[in-house]
Structure 1
């Protein structure tokens, strides 16, 4: 295994350029740990001639990433272009058809096409590696596929998007509103100019779909993920959460239930003393429950050039050492589709915020709607009185089926004194 492993990189943004620099600057360490050199032989990007901070000597340039995947002198093609389809997918498919190993950080592509790409990799005796696609520098893919391989995973959950976590953390620490903190996150480079994938939960859902496949041995099924973002979280919600002993986190949760495998991304109230509650800012964390190992917690930087490039290079080094197996832990033909969990049948506790006219009888009407749907109220909070004015009313309810809660909320929303739809956050005692 003394021959150099030759690497071609498609996409020279911050992660792509960072990957080349890491491979060049850590060449001696990488060679020592792999027992062979790892050499960048080709790159492709939209614009040539720009100084990207690394030495281009001996590196072939390709304007077309697909052509590079087919023709470059390379054993491994690293896809860092992004996007679920288009050039990224064509580049990946071309590399695999040519029998070249692929390393990618592209969670959207894997969430939508991961199963078919894994099958293509197997057909051509190539690796499809994607540690960098989920949680940046946190080695959660290797943990699930290798370190926890002897366990049946019953559930996993985590903070899978640093942008959302930064916004919620800053709102709590400063008392500022969502829109103001989002603008700051964009100015700092934590949020994109179009932040919808991050704040609407889509980015976290992409990652959860990948983790679910790996954890439960099922085909990747992004369409089965229930997704809700954080646009509607207010400083009032965060304040009341603290009063109730909770913090609000945007979580991805997957678990086996009697009704099937549920996959959901949504704002969640978690106890202040839970491990996940203390994960702040741009950090990510993933918690798994295995039948033999019990609970494991992984935490670290979930994005950025350094952590993501580190994960890309870890996959390249595995390939250099001959360590690569099935993309989702088992052959594609062994992946088994599970029933999709019916959230209406699942039970949970909830926080509910109402905007109501402060008029006599409103609490009695709300209590009647809850009673008729067999929903039990745990506590209710209202700060002060403002007769005839609109005031927030917050309550929590004990565990209840989703269908029962929806029935109660429909009745409550129809009340004349309730001036906007109820705002609901699930409570998880994690």
Structure 2
């Protein structure tokens, strides 16, 4: 017998049972359904506004009124939205989590979000969350807890803002076999790359512009290094393939190495660069990747501009589907949150829950060695004789066939300590194994004429 034998699941997890059990199956049409909010930032404030301004309409759609029963935040004194009743504000997150019929978790991060969500579920409350990091790390545990406790867990706003992507994967396509999803799922990086493409801006200038307009955080690392999109990829892969996929299973690359030269060369080839989240399920297993890619300008994803998001889904029977819309922002994201709240509230009125999330498969994760593509690799090199021959030989030694080489002969800034000109050299390969490609690039970078880090772009 294990050492946890005889303990309740709450005790085994270190969670307390001393919580009030909310009312399940509230059939009295005049009894309010209590909605507790954790977090009242950009999205939380808009959720409170819509709940207040559309109170009567929402009651008609649900059959019972919704009532904000508590709002937990770190600094209640700083909340000044006119539609928020200040008497509802508290710093006691645990109380709000365990004294609600529907808990809306919008604080983000892993802890205390995980503990509070689990406490809410164990208390009998359903949960609506927009917390992609939480679900990418602990999704299967949370889905299982909701099912065991007989309550709902909904999270449309965690991926793609206002875009209805989660519900189709969870319900509409559940009778089909989804084989891949690829999408532009981070508005910050899409805005930056779009500004670089349409205005010819350098990366740093486009980033500062995104920050000034509120599209990027003061610390944009999670966006520009690919982590935000990777969290979303993990959630999408889990739903699409009915198998646990966590953030630890996702490989990610950001966009910090993309230059104006990369953008210009892509445009010359009638392509655009997008940061893609790509999940697939094939004979090698489940793959979840985030990387910048070259996309033909006639592909639907190439037309996703600004801070918009889009996802391209392929299923065996449904074939190709595309979902497009606002991927971020207070009001668009709040729209998705409210959709979940109304759905869960209807289930409460009916005395049941929605379909649970099925993680009935445990598919293997495809190794990086199974990945192959055509690549475009940009090196920054010192201009001297023999460079092309030396680089070509390294590619040949690794068995990689070169499709073309482009050398930019425009003068570029001198590298400190080097008196000659620096040039951009771009090598385009035929289809090859990614591991082999990266080993090849590492060997090329050992030459003393290669300056800085190379840029590696996949052809979609």
Residue 56 of structure 1, aligned match among 62, 74, 85: 85
The answer to whether the 8 A contact 1:17-1:53 is kept is no
What stretches of structure 1 move > 4 A for 4+ residues in a row?
385-388
The answer to whether the 8 A contact 2:191-2:306 is kept is yes
The answer to whether the 8 A contact 2:138-2:246 is kept is no
Partner of 1:82: 108
- The whole-number CA distance in structure 2 between the counterparts of 1:203 and 1:410 is 27
- The whole-number CA distance in structure 2 between the counterparts of 1:208 and 1:136 is 14
Residue 333 of structure 2, aligned match among 286, 292, 308: 308
- Measured at CA, do residues 404 and 31 of structure 1 come closer, stay the same or move farther in structure 2, by a change above 3 Å? same
- Measured at CA, do residues 382 and 124 of structure 1 come closer, stay the same or move farther in structure 2, by a change above 3 Å? same
The answer to whether the aligner puts 1:223 opposite 2:255 as a matched pair is no
- Measured at CA, do residues 288 and 245 of structure 1 come closer, stay the same or move farther in structure 2, by a change above 3 Å? same
- The whole-number CA distance in structure 1 between the counterparts of 2:189 and 2:388 is 34
Deviations 1:235-265 (A, max 9, x none): 1111111112211101110001322111111
Residue 418 of structure 1, aligned match among 450, 453, 459: 450
Q: Give 1:32 deviation, angstroms.
A: 2.3
Length-normalised TM-score, structure 2: 0.87
The answer to whether the 8 A contact 1:318-1:324 is kept is no
Residue 263 of structure 2, aligned match among 238, 255, 263: 238
The answer to whether the aligner puts 1:199 opposite 2:231 as a matched pair is no
**How well do the aligned residues superpose, as a CA RMSD in angstroms?**
1.8
Partner of 1:278: 303
- Range with bigger deviation, 266-275 or 351-360: 351-360
Partner of 1:188: 213
Q: Give 1:384 deviation, angstroms.
A: 3.0
The answer to whether the aligner puts 1:357 opposite 2:357 as a matched pair is no
- The 3-state SS of whatever aligns with 2:392 is helix
- Measured at CA, do residues 417 and 55 of structure 1 come closer, stay the same or move farther in structure 2, by a change above 3 Å? closer
Q: Give 1:60 deviation, angstroms.
A: 3.7
- The whole-number CA distance in structure 2 between the counterparts of 1:337 and 1:383 is 48
Q: Give 1:385 deviation, angstroms.
A: 7.0
Q: Where does 1:96-245 land on structure 2 (aligned, <5 Å)?
A: 96-245=121-270
- The whole-number CA distance in structure 1 between the counterparts of 2:210 and 2:459 is 26
Deviations 1:242-296 (A, max 9, x none): 1122111011100013221111111111111100011011001111101110111
Q: Where does 1:240-255 land on structure 2 (aligned, <5 Å)?
A: 240-255=265-280
Unaligned runs of 5+ in 2: 1-26, 412-418
Q: Give 1:23 deviation, angstroms.
A: 1.3
Length-normalised TM-score, structure 1: 0.93
- Measured at CA, do residues 45 and 367 of structure 1 come closer, stay the same or move farther in structure 2, by a change above 3 Å? same
Q: Give 1:33 deviation, angstroms.
A: 2.1
- Range with bigger deviation, 314-323 or 121-130: 314-323
